[in-house]
Structure 1
Amino acid sequence: MTLSIAELIKTHRGENFALHERYLNTQMVRVLQTIGYDRTYTHARGPYLYDQEDNEYLDLLSGFGVFALGRNHPTIQSALREVLDLDLPDLVQMDVSILSGLLAEKLVQVTPEPLTKLFFCNSGAEAVEAAIKFARYTTGRSRILYCEHAFHGLTLGALSLNGEEVFRQGFGPLLPDCDAIPFNDLEALERALKEQPTAAFIVEPIQGKGVNLPDDDYLTEAARLCRKYGALFIADEIQAGLGRTGRLWAIEHWGVEPDMLLMAKALSGGFVPVGAVAMTAHVMDKVFNRMDRAVVHGSTFSKNNPAMAAGLATLSVIEEEKLLANAARQGEALIGGLNALTDKYEFFQAVRGKGLMLALEFGKPRSLKLKTAWSLLETANKGLFSQMVTIPLFKRHRILSQVAGHGMNVVKFLPPLVIGAKDVEWIVSAMDDVLADCHQVPGAIWDLGKTLAGHAMKARKTA
């Protein structure tokens, strides 16, 4: 009997949560059910998801940045179908493939000039792991500097560079010689570089957790300091890269030339996992410096044909559909529309970001009644107010978003780069409505807040 995926899905539709609770992450199922995110999505197109009742949802999470082109883009689908229909040899291993060579050539054309070599892998975390190894071998040093509140992945090496303790707790000991410094602090960076030899400084040009932007001179000066003290400068563009900020690479906003640039997520086109490290010839030639070292680092499924085709198609779509300009234009409109609400609502304090990588920051209000309600939430669990924004955004306005990090009252928007003016209006109107309700104490949203606070207090006691 021939396997039919369509028939399997049809037969088991609606069993998503039961299957995951039984065989996968039970706690994740409970989280989604508790906050009312337990929908059964049946199809998707562009920036929209559709449930079994054909309700349309606007996705501002984008799979944590994977779906920069939206979901099920026809150009990516066509490229993948073509690869499958060609019956190409794949992963021969004792061979070099044409598609990986072509994707590498294209990436070299669109990355900063010093980066002329590519290493392919399967994910952003794998790109970070490779960068750690390459930096250590190239410099002969072991120490890696990273920033507080950074996020570079959850595999062991990447986790060692993770600035959020909630992810690290209980998984130690992690890699030695990995030290955190404050983000956007050149004095701290220079002190750290001075105190002992360092292999590399890895930094997100815009931090994903919190969407923290650097000062105008931070990244260029950080690169200069790294060169001064013999450390490599690594730009982690896994989330911010490939058009997210209105430029192909976030570092282009500041004219920075790194020794390595890490990419993944959006390069997949939303279909086939792929990551890459773009690097200088100096780094590549140091690591792979003899024929007997040609295999000292690699990954079984890296450079597979579907992933390489997805990468080529993604770059083609970004260029042909002028998505960099659209991200910049819609991002400016969205920031402008949301900024107009900060004068209207006490809780809403700031909007920041570049292109379509945005943070909405909330803080303690001025008036006594609102201040008291805020304090009760913060006592129960720091950052809980953000959930009082994201949950009604989803349940009432069918907008999917998430908080920007643990313990912070920041909501993060990562819309697909294909959104239009209609979507911007949808977002601003929905935020206006939700924030208006947040300022009604008591009210329905504050009933939600009490429920969330109760769960938080219960969880704290259990822990």
Structure 2
Amino acid sequence: MSKEFDLGALLAERGAERYALHDRYLNHQLPRMLHTIGFDKVYERAEGAYFWDADGHDYLDMLAGFGVMGLGRHHPVVRRALHDVLDAQLADLTRFDCQPLPGLLAERLLAHSPHLDRVFFGNSGTEAVETALKFARYATGRPRVLYCDHAFHGLTTGSLSVNGESGFRDGFAPLLPDTAVPLGDLDALARELAKGDVAALIVEPIQGKGVHEAPPGYLRAAQELLHRHKALLVADEVQTGLGRTGDFYAHQHEDGVEPDLVCVAKALSGGYVPVGATLGKDWIFRKVYSSMDRVLVHSASFGSNAQAMAAGLAVLSVMENEQIVANARATGELLKSRLAALTGEYELLADVRGRGLMIGIEFGRPKSLKLRSRWAMLQAARKGLFAQMVVVPLLQRHRILTQVSGDHLEVIKLIPPLVIGEREVDRFVAAFTEVMDDAHNGGGLMWDFGKTLVKQAVTER
């Protein structure tokens, strides 16, 4: 007779095998990479902006699961909502009825987007982008979607077609017809629009790869150009939305910007149940769903499921009740200003940029001869190694989790949970200052690790 399933017992029995299981059955390069950079930690539990290991040491999370954990981990209001929806035993996903939760979540989301009218719920950010691409092409009757150089919009085939990083696209062609334009270049946008086959421009108001913000006035001017040519503006707010940049949406920092379609996901989940949403204008939805025959022309098997909708409703409630957007704005300004003040002290520190709690720290070529030769050694092997050299001691010595902002980029991106405050800012700035001191004073451990990374980079060529 088989035993009843016991999750706690399974984890107790097999949890120590976690890295071996990934190596054997999943992406084998992940444990290899984590081991190489010393990130192969074992985290036992998490709450808010912190993890703890088996020895009780705390780790500050400045990554938020790539932006998913906007409210931190295990927020009590979101947890309670999920318990409640499971206990309610709703008749979920019948597919031939209309449940209340999707309508209620759509209503709450649209309250933050007064120029938009309807919502499609999927399961992820890339699905939200796929929806926007399909809706834009169908509504305009045109095939081509423009995107910006260095953009990241997802990794499924449609969203990959508007992905500005060749490393993600290589080997997966042919993709959808598309054209990249430089972020902020209105002349390039106008030249493409003049060809008459453009359905839309999709743009991150602040690009996740490298943390590059659209220049002031660009989004509004692009919107005017697009509409003049009967094309649509699609704002990808998957990472920048829901308060990340100190406003509910990043495009709201610029007056008069009213995208035709907006993509959200990540933080809307509360870190629990994946959810993506594409918000759009009424006329676009009416074109796509133009008759009862087309009622299922675009759908998702798990879209609008009760758990995801409950999580989203709880997240929006917490954001309002706990003033999450205001905290992201104030804490982000404090963190950015403290870091920006260091640029004059460290020659390897080139720039600090971003909005709210989406901050990019860029490193650049130093002036002194000793540091310049070391920098050149790293750059010759692989661009981005110095940033990795900073990320590693932040975790190893200071127990702070960060990330390099993209392949071959000398940029660290900070996207912590939006609930952090002055205590976390102090901890990060103190740790970052120590790491910078070590790098500039020729600290042996840090540069020795740089040599390890160089050997690894050369071996993989």
TM-score bucket (shorter structure): over 0.9
Provide, for residues 283-325 of structure 1, a one-character-per-residue CA deviation record: whole Å limited to 9, x for no partner: 0001001111111000000000000000000000111000111
The residue that corresponds to 1:329 in the other structure is 330
Provide, for residues 371-392 of structure 1, a one-character-per-residue CA deviation record: whole Å limited to 9, x for no partner: 1110010000011110011000
Deviation at 1:173?
1.2
**2:190 is the alignment partner of 1:190:** yes
2:19 to 17, 23, 29: 17
Query: 1:62 corresponds to which letter in structure 2?
Result: A
Moved more, 313-322 or 9-18: 9-18
After superposition, residues 331-410 of structure 1 pair within 5 angstroms as 331-410=332-411
The residue that corresponds to 2:258 in the other structure is 257
DSSP 3-state at the match of 2:174: coil
**Partner Cα separation in structure 2 for residue 94 and residue 11 of structure 1:** 42
Moved more, 54-63 or 298-307: 54-63
Deviation at 1:186?
1.2
Deviation at 1:2?
2.4
**Partner Cα separation in structure 1 for residue 349 and residue 190 of structure 2:** 36
The residue that corresponds to 1:431 in the other structure is 432
**Partner Cα separation in structure 1 for residue 323 and residue 404 of structure 2:** 29
The residue that corresponds to 1:42 in the other structure is 44
After superposition, residues 16-165 of structure 1 pair within 5 angstroms as 16-111=18-113, 113-165=114-166
Provide, for residues 240-271 of structure 1, a one-character-per-residue CA deviation record: whole Å limited to 9, x for no partner: 00000011100110121000000000000000
**Partner Cα separation in structure 2 for residue 447 and residue 66 of structure 1:** 34
Query: 1:192 corresponds to which letter in structure 2?
Result: E
**Partner Cα separation in structure 2 for residue 428 and residue 306 of structure 1:** 38
Work out whether residues 196 and 229 of structure 2, in 8 Å CA contact, stay in contact via their aligned partners in 1.
no
Deviation at 1:400?
0.5
**Partner Cα separation in structure 2 for residue 196 and residue 108 of structure 1:** 31
DSSP 3-state at the match of 2:342: helix
Deviation at 1:114?
2.1
The residue that corresponds to 2:239 in the other structure is 239
Deviation at 1:442?
6.0
Work out whether residues 246 and 357 of structure 2, in 8 Å CA contact, stay in contact via their aligned partners in 1.
yes
DSSP 3-state at the match of 1:376: helix
**Partner Cα separation in structure 1 for residue 106 and residue 340 of structure 2:** 40
DSSP 3-state at the match of 2:397: helix
DSSP 3-state at the match of 1:342: coil
Deviation at 1:336?
1.0
**2:294 is the alignment partner of 1:293:** yes
**Partner Cα separation in structure 2 for residue 114 and residue 246 of structure 1:** 20
Deviation at 1:440?
2.4
4+ runs deviating over 3 angstroms: none
Deviation at 1:171?
1.1
Deviation at 1:97?
1.1
The residue that corresponds to 1:457 in the other structure is 458
Query: 2:341 corresponds to which letter in structure 1?
Result: A
The residue that corresponds to 1:215 in the other structure is 215
DSSP 3-state at the match of 1:14: helix
Moved more, 152-161 or 13-22: 13-22
**Partner Cα separation in structure 2 for residue 212 and residue 196 of structure 1:** 29
Q: Normalising by structure 2, what TM-score? A: 0.98
**Partner Cα separation in structure 1 for residue 308 and residue 431 of structure 2:** 37
Deviation at 1:195?
2.6
How many residues align? The count is 458
Query: 2:276 corresponds to which letter in structure 1?
Result: G
Query: 1:286 corresponds to which letter in structure 2?
Result: K
**Partner Cα separation in structure 1 for residue 206 and residue 392 of structure 2:** 26
**Partner Cα separation in structure 1 for residue 14 and residue 402 of structure 2:** 27
Provide, for residues 98-149 of structure 1, a one-character-per-residue CA deviation record: whole Å limited to 9, x for no partner: 10010011111111x2211000000011111111110111001111001110
Query: 1:201 corresponds to which letter in structure 2?
Result: L
**Partner Cα separation in structure 2 for residue 140 and residue 362 of structure 1:** 44
DSSP 3-state at the match of 1:67: coil
Deviation at 1:95?
1.1
DSSP 3-state at the match of 1:110: coil
DSSP 3-state at the match of 2:205: coil
**Partner Cα separation in structure 1 for residue 397 and residue 433 of structure 2:** 12
DSSP 3-state at the match of 2:98: coil
Structure 2, unaligned runs of 5 or more: none
CA RMSD of aligned residues (A): 0.8
Q: Normalising by structure 1, what TM-score? A: 0.98
Q: Percent same amino acid among aligned pairs? A: 52
